[in-house]
Structure 1
Amino acid sequence: MNDLKARPFGPLVAFGLLASWLLPLTSSAAVACPFCSATAQTFSEEMASMDVVAIAKLVHLPPPSDNSSEELAKAKFEITEIVKGEKSARVGDKIDTIYFGDGKPGSVFLVMGIDPPKTMWSTPLLLSPRAQDYIGKITKLPKDGNERYMFFQNYLEDKDDMLARDAYDEFAKAPYTTIKDLKPHMNHEQLVSWIQNADIPASRRRLYLVMLGVCGTKDDLPMLEAAMKSTDRKSRSGLDALIACYLTLKGETGMELVEDLYLKNKKSDYADTYSAIMALRFHGTEGGVIKKERLLVGLKYMLDRPELADLVIPDLAGWEDWSAVDQLFELFKNADEKSTWVRVPVINYLRKCPLAKAKDLLKECEKIDPASVKRANTFFPGDPAPAVPDPKKAAMIPALDAKTNGETATASYEVPVPPADDQEINAQEVAKAVQSAETAAVVNKGAPPAAAIRAIPLASPNRWLLISVPWGIGLVMFVVQWWVLRGLG
């Protein structure tokens, strides 16, 4: 159990590391506000999923009952305003629905329903006069743009906590570019006040730090530096966003302080160190202020802390920094019970590395610890972190023209253009794609359309990948649960 004591939440981090290698295989880059986590569906999202949305007043509560075997009695409401679904409900309609509150007759509620005409109504939500006004306005807002987020900005930290949460969730789900566009309309002094308020929840403080990074100035740096150096946990609440904000305003010269406090400093605890790594990842993907080369210098200080080195190895591979090959092999070779989880990430790094030396080191790794090599191949079959296609390169691949003549057709294939924020595509893969398209065109030439479709050469699915990945994840989760329970015992 020494490794658990040396590194809190070790098993959970091991599982998180597995996810960090698997997610690039199935998802695109996150576009939501960095460091922000939405707490629930927003009112806008919830109403969009409903067939009927209405404002209703409570007519009377259900009669009290002590018989638990009876069907739950329902309260009666009268619709006073239709927000959505005018064809499915009318003002003045009476509806019966389950309500567990103690509202007084005449109180105003938000009610939503699905599947009209026999509409199934949700549990009514009590609305204050301010909330009624809020609901009425959000239905008229554009789906994106400054007008929308200027409206929600006015409800951040609102006295009605329900509205404050909803406004926060709208920002938490907004793309970072949208938040940057809002810069001319941000209230700098208000943001600083919220950041300095120790009673603000960490999740919201992260949002305000992200916004300060957009509208702040160098005059804010002393406040941010003092918070980063503070020994008071509340002052450092939302540390990942705090460091990211500091680096956004300070620029590359701010890296030295971050490195000294969290990356080089072996006394920095796990949570703080990980927050710094998250901040550097943000700047490597969306920040646009500090060059990746400088960020990599900071990340590589973690290789001098073997028990935490696995946190950054996937980043080195993803950003294609192959200068650490020898250092990573030494980490693999010298791993002990406190740093044993570094071995699988090292193997995955070497598998992706294009240098010839990496292949030789992989063979050495297998001699040292064949079990770790087997685990890496089992949990990460194929390329552990494949490069994502570059849209510019993909767009240069010419599509073969489709030509039809009577009942015959020449199949046409165009290599799909990936999203604009994707990274590089392997030149070999491009060549394969073009060759595959040309082959298909030759095979299908002169064939009827249906026959042409059947003759298209299809790639066989990787059955090993389809079967092993779910089983592998399940196995890891089982081991993690066992490990945690054993630690608690």
Structure 2
Amino acid sequence: MLTRLMILCGALVSTAVLLTSALACPFCAAISQTFSQEIESMDAAVIAKLIEAPAVTAEGAGVEATFEITQILKGKEHLGDTKTIKSLYYGEGRKGREFLILGTEPENMMWSTPTLLTDRGVKYINQVIKLPATGNDRYVFFQDYLEDEDEMLARDAYDEFANAPYSALHDLKPKMKHDQLVEWVENPDIAANRRRLYFTMLGVCGTKADLPLLEKMLNSEERANKSGLDAMIGCYLTLAGADGLPLIEKLYLANKEAEYADTYAAIMALRFHGTETDIIEKDRLLKSLHLMLDRPSLADLVIADFARWEDWSVMDKLVKLFKEADEETSWVRVPVIRYLMACPKPEAKEYLIELEKIDPDAMKRAQTFFPFQSQAVPTRADGEKMKDENLLAMAEVDDNQLPPEQEDAEIAQPENAAPANTAKSGEQTAMAKRQVTRDELSTAGDRALAAAITGDAATNIEETSTVGLLQRIFSTTIPIVVTFVLMLAISGILWNPGNKTSL
């Protein structure tokens, strides 16, 4: 119970992060704050040389070290004639090496843990702070650092693209390095999150000549070759159009032997095309998604899309799924109810009255508040008047149905963000094995998922600088704590021992 609740809380926090960046690269998730974001959020930023560091303690705790400022990047008005600063330093002493150090609280400057820089890193940061906030020149610069030999710079460049508006990729098309992108997507050792970015970029600058390569990857039996599958399918459909759907249907939607992660990746790709592009007619995409109704255990994954796109043609089939649901497919009932709540047809309300008699608990769960939910409930069987104008919320999922062990987290999910003041370490590669639960897979992905939940594009939320480390910590942790407490509270409402639809 507690484990499942923790997974759901983590998924909700991840979804909230995605909603704040609704226009970002559709299949990419930033790993950590970029250098630009870190510097912008602080009151001061300096490049400083380590000149004195006490011996490292046996416990490995940080020691106060002295640094000589060699360059002030930001906050000169706060630093005045300051020549040296002190900051906690971890690791072996590296006298003479340069670090990026960030400061806050100008009245009593508090300095972050230093980030070790190479000579190229120092040059890189000096160039970054001079770039325009948006526009082609910015992304032309970062494109040159994708897969850079300096891992810190490569990650920062990736994060810049992960945060970039999808339209920025189209603007960059004339200057994209097509052959380099092809080389990267053919390399299964490149981390899955970066591979997603390269597939997305290839979808922008590629041509039909790239389709044989993509088809070979899609048909591959090697798991590593299909890392970043959602973006791969998205790229394939961008280049192939509706002509590419039969292959996707055959491999992942109609194929009942397809792995759960692969099927969900295909759904994410179709969802992207249905909400963000006009390459494929929505009716044709819906025809593909209808195939999922022949797989009752996974039908809940697409019901939200039917309501979002106002496809009421499947109403009778969904009601049939509700009535025939057993312990293995019972989680389909709540999304079916929410679909009917959103449907404007009079027979939908009649069905709701009928289905409430069959499973009143499912009706209660459908009316329970979930984050990002706009509820709509017509008149119940007992005559109680409820709201009837909003769209449905996200379908419930259950983690008892686990996919086979995956060789990478196939559906795009934000990795745990590294602290803003620590060095950026290497990320998990596509070959790293990881068990993925149904809850995790069903809540991550691109901004199209948020649109499917809310029915609207997410509101841009501009990050604002806070004053002081305590304020930053407070503003970061409070939403997570509130989410956790909320989930603890509603778990008491939703938990029904022995029922697979419970939390």
Give the CA deviation at 1:11.
Answer: 6.5
Give the structure 2 partner of residue 312 of structure 1.
302
Question: Where in structure 2 are the equivalents of 1:138-153 lying within 5 Å?
Answer: 138-153=128-143
**What SS is found at the alignment partner of 1:98?**
strand
Change (3 A) 1:213 1:27: closer
Instruction: Tell me, yes or no, if the aligned pair for 2:365 and 2:494 is still in contact at 8 Å.
Output: no
**Aligned pairs (5 A) from 1:399-414:** none
In the alignment, which of 174, 177, 184 is matched to residue 194 of structure 1? 184
Residue correspondence of structure 1 range 369-380 to structure 2 within 5 A = 369-379=359-369
The answer (yes or no) to whether the contact 2:56–2:62 under 8 Å persists in 1 is no
Mapped to 2, the partners of 1:39 and 1:230 lie a distance apart of: 28
| Equivalent residue for 2:42, pick from 39, 50, 54 | 50
Instruction: Tell me which residue corresponds to 1:34.
Output: 26
- Out of 242, 245, 248, the position equivalent to 1:252 is 242
Question: Contact conserved, 2:49 with 2:97, CA < 8 A, in 1?
Answer: yes
Q: Look up the equivalent residue of 2:376 and give its one-letter code.
A: D
The CA deviation at 1:131 is 0.3
Contact 2:24–2:163 under 8 Å retained in 1: yes
**2:269 is aligned with what amino acid?**
A
Q: Which protein shows a greater Rg?
A: 1
1:72, 1:254 → 2: CA distance? 56
**1:176–1:96 CA distance, 2 compared to 1 (3 A):** same
Residue 223 of structure 1 deviates from its aligned partner by: 0.5
Alignment of 1:259-408 (within 5 A): 259-379=249-369, 382-383=375-376, 386=390
Structure 1 distance, partners of 2:20, 2:34, is 23
Amino acid paired to 2:230: D
CA contact (8 A) 2:214 2:236 kept: yes
How far apart in 1 are the matches of 2:332 and 2:113?
50
**Deviation, structure 1 residue 263:** 0.5
1:74 Cα deviation from its structure 2 partner? 1.0
Structure 1 residue matching 2:148: 3-state secondary structure: coil
Structure 2 gap segments, 5+ residues each: 378-388, 393-449, 456-481
Letter in 2 for 1:31: L
Whole-Å Cα distance in 2 between the matches of residues 477 and 229 of structure 1? Answer: 45
- When normalised by structure 2's length, the TM-score is 0.72
Are the aligned partners of 2:375 and 2:391 in contact in 1 as well (CA < 8 Å)?
Answer: no
- Percent identical among aligned pairs is 52
Q: Which structure has more RCO (C-alpha within 8 Å, separation ≥ 6)? A: 2
| Structure 1 residues 119 and 19: alpha-carbon distance in aligned structure 2, compared to 1, 3 A threshold | closer
Partner Cα distance (2:497, 2:24) in 1:
34
AA of the residue aligned to 1:365: L
Match of 1:391 in 2: none
Contact 1:80 1:91 in 2 (8 A): no
| Closer/same/farther in 2, CA of residues 29 and 104 from structure 1, 3 Å limit | closer
2:250 and 2:212 mapped to 1: Cα distance? Answer: 17
Runs of at least 5 residues in structure 1 that lack an aligned partner in the other structure: 1-9, 389-420, 427-466, 485-489
Tell me whether 1:181 sits opposite 2:171 in the alignment. Answer: yes
Structure 1 pair 303–28 and aligned structure 2 pair: CA distance change class (3 A): farther
CA RMSD of aligned residues (A): 3.5
Q: Kindly indicate whether residue 201 of structure 2 is the aligned counterpart of residue 211 of structure 1.
A: yes
Q: CA deviation at 1:373?
A: 1.2
Counterpart CA distance in 1 for 2:489 and 2:305 is 25
Q: How far 1:87 moved relative to its partner?
A: 1.2
**In 2: Cα distance, 1:29 partner to 1:331 partner:** 35
Q: Deviations over 1:306-335 (max 9, x none)?
A: 000000001100111000110000000000
Cα pair distance change 1:323/1:67, threshold 3 Å = closer
User: How big is each residue's C-alpha offset from its partner over 1:54-73, in whole Å with a ceiling of 9 and x where there is no partner?
Assistant: 111111112455699xx964
Distance 1:29 1:324 in 2: 32
- With normalisation by structure 1, the TM-score equals 0.74
Is the partner of 2:180 in helix, strand or coil? helix
2:47/2:100 contact within 8 Å kept? yes
